[in-house]
């Protein structure tokens, strides 16, 4: 009985392994083909969030309220809209009589809120789409408008997040109010981006901070020596290569590497201090992270709120638009993404079943 059970167990895992290997090969082939055949074109998508909220409200009304109550609410809303249109028409006439300049005339219009998303990885890969979105919004946005960025990032490469931060700095330079909402994490390079905002809002348990720099690499020189393998590093310039994975590292090289890290850290601290001058930089620039409420006490953020809560509030006050630049994907890339999602879903199910089995037995 035990042997039969073990045989079935082994067969099951053999099938799973075969499936995963096949799917990984499919993903690799599809993505590489997509990279060769993709044309890099994209399209801009703009959706009015107010409409989505109104649809949600309408659905709830029809499900919860009776017909009479719905009619009364519709009547009240029509009257409210009528009064609003009347006031706008009156204001327009007054402006026409006063013959104000064009910029003053624009200030009389309703303010707009533009919502962008940035979900950062190690390379800040979304920066290409992000720069397109910001460039587009800046063609229309006015100082009385607002740009809201829903930011999620644990940080990554310095130069990549430096470029992403520069995109946000363009908004500040244009004198457009910038609000950044962090629901989960804005750490290291993520906080480098967030600190540029006029206002940072964080969820209560969002991870904030990590104003520090880290770098590391393995060294296999001892392994190579064990097998009598030489590895030569030839450079022109004393510090062209400070640390290496295969060569023998020197104390001078390590010191130079650490000096470079310290220099980068100083630049990081100066950058944060420039945009958030009230911060106690020595206190918060230790590489530590804090949850939202503690981050508020340390003035790393300006308020505690989820992005949903803040956007729901702005929908009541202004026209809110979600702006997204979407890269055109070839069929190979679409196939690769679908296959990757299938693999991740299968792995999640296996892990969940394993955890459930373990908890029921313990």
Q: Is 327 exposed, middle or buried (0-12, 13-18, 19+ CB in 10 A)?
A: middle
CA dist 206 and 309 (Å) reads 15
CB 320 within 8 A of CB 115: yes
* Residue 263 to residues 230, 256, 270, 307, Cα–Cα distance (Å): 33, 10, 11, 35
CA dist 27 and 19 (Å) reads 12
* Residue 143 to residues 88, 106, 132, 169, Cα–Cα distance (Å): 21, 10, 20, 15
CA dist 285 and 255 (Å) reads 21
Calculate the CA 18 to chain-centre distance: 35
Calculate the CA 91 to chain-centre distance: 40
CA dist 7 and 114 (Å) reads 59
The residues assigned a catalytic role are: 188, 240
CA dist 67 and 85 (Å) reads 27
CA dist 8 and 244 (Å) reads 47
Which residues are bridge partners to 325 per DSSP? 44
Q: Provide the 3-class DSSP secondary structure of residue 70.
A: helix
Q: Residue 43 carries which DSSP code?
A: E
CA dist 140 and 138 (Å) reads 5
Q: Are strands 289-291 and 207-209 parallel, antiparallel or unpaired?
A: antiparallel
């Amino acid at each position: 009985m035990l042997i039969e059970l073990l045989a079935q167990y082994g067969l099951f895992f053999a099938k799973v392994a075969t499936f995963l290997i096949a799917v990984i090969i499919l993903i690799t082939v599809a993505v590489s083909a997509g990279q060769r055949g993709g044309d890099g074109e994209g399209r801009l998508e703009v959706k009015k969030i107010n409409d989505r909220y109104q649809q949600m409200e309408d659905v709830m009304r029809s499900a919860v309220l009776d017909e009479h109550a719905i009619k009364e609410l519709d009547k009240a809303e029509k009257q409210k809209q009528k009064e609003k249109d009347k006031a706008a028409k009156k204001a327009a006439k007054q402006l026409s009589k006063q013959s104000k300049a064009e910029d003053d005339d624009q200030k009389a219009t309703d303010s707009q809120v533009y919502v962008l998303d940035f979900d950062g990885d190690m390379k800040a890969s979304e920066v290409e789409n992000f720069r397109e979105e910001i460039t587009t919004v800046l063609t229309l946005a006015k100082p009385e408008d607002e740009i809201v960025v829903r930011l999620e990032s644990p940080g990554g490469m310095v130069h990549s997040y430096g470029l992403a931060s520069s995109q946000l700095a363009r908004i500040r330079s244009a004198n457009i109010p910038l609000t950044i909402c962090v629901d989960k994490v804005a750490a290291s390079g993520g906080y480098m981006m967030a600190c540029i905002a006029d206002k940072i809002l964080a969820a209560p348990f969002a991870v904030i901070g990590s104003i520090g720099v880290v770098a590391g690499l393995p060294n296999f020189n001892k392994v190579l020596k064990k097998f009598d393998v030489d590895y030569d590093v030839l450079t022109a310039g004393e510090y062209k290569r400070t640390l290496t994975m295969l060569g023998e590292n020197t104390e001078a090289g390590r010191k130079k590497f650490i000096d470079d890290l310290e220099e980068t850290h100083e630049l990081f601290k100066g950058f944060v201090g420039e945009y958030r001058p009230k911060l106690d930089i020595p206190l918060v620039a230790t590489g530590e992270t804090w949850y939202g409420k503690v981050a508020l006490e340390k003035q790393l953020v300006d308020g505690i709120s989820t992005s949903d809560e803040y956007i729901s509030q702005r929908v009541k006050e202004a026209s809110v638009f979600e702006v997204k630049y979407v890269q055109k994907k070839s069929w190979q890339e679409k196939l690769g993404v679908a296959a990757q999602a299938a693999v991740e879903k299968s792995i999640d199910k296996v892990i969940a079943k394993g955890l459930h089995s373990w908890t029921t037995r313990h």
